[in-house]
Amino acid sequence: MEDSSTCKLYKLKICLVGEKAVGKTSLVRKYVFNEYDNNYLVTIGTKVTKKELKIKDPKNDELVDVQLYIWDIVGQKGFRQLLQDAYFFGAQGIIGVCDNTREITLLDLDSWMDTIHGVIEDVPTVFLGNKCDLKDRQQIGLNEITSVASGYEKSASYISSAKTGFNVELAFETLSKKILKNML
């Protein structure tokens, strides 16, 4: 955090985690650039994207400047253990993403959270069930996602669609507010 006499600036590191092909990269593209691409893009290692926004300070309801550094992390399990310290060190928030059309991706979020808690503890988290636009292929819904999220303090849960933008902005802004509240 940098503090000047006229404006507060918070720099926040958040990590998106989840199995491959759950839509992490698509969520980031939708949130930061308001773009969506149907083509599957494999993330190699990690990709960091910056987004600037203004949100209310939970202490006094004044608007503060926030720079989100969004780490889109590779979904392959082999890389998770190999580079966990480098990826998660200093993270102030987590978005755990599963694919509503593949139940196994929700079950895998517990494993991701175990890995994260090996590096950082007590981190604000938003659990997202992505691809809610694929209504005829749904295997899980908000109730199942909320059930997993209830096992973690400082968490919230939503269903989302990177394609339509449904709840994408809400998820990132909710996490940003949780992080600020946690910091203060």
All domains in the chain, ordered by first residue: 2-183 (3.40.50.300)
pTM above 0.85, yes or no: yes
Residue 31 backbone dihedrals phi, psi, to 5 degrees: -70, -45
**Which parts of 47-102 fold into alpha helices (H)?**
77-88
For residue 178, give every residue at least 6 positions away whose Cβ sits within 8 Å of its Cβ, in sequence order, or none. 93, 124, 126, 154, 156
Task: Indicate the burial class of 39 (C-beta count within 10 angstroms; 0-12, 13-18, 19 or more).
Answer: exposed
pLDDT tens string, the chain, 184 residues long: the values are: 444 445 689 999 999 999 999 999 999 999 999 999 887 666 665 789 999 999 988 788 889 999 999 999 876 665 555 566 778 889 999 999 999 999 999 999 998 998 888 889 889 999 999 999 999 999 999 999 999 999 998 899 999 999 999 999 999 999 999 999 988 7
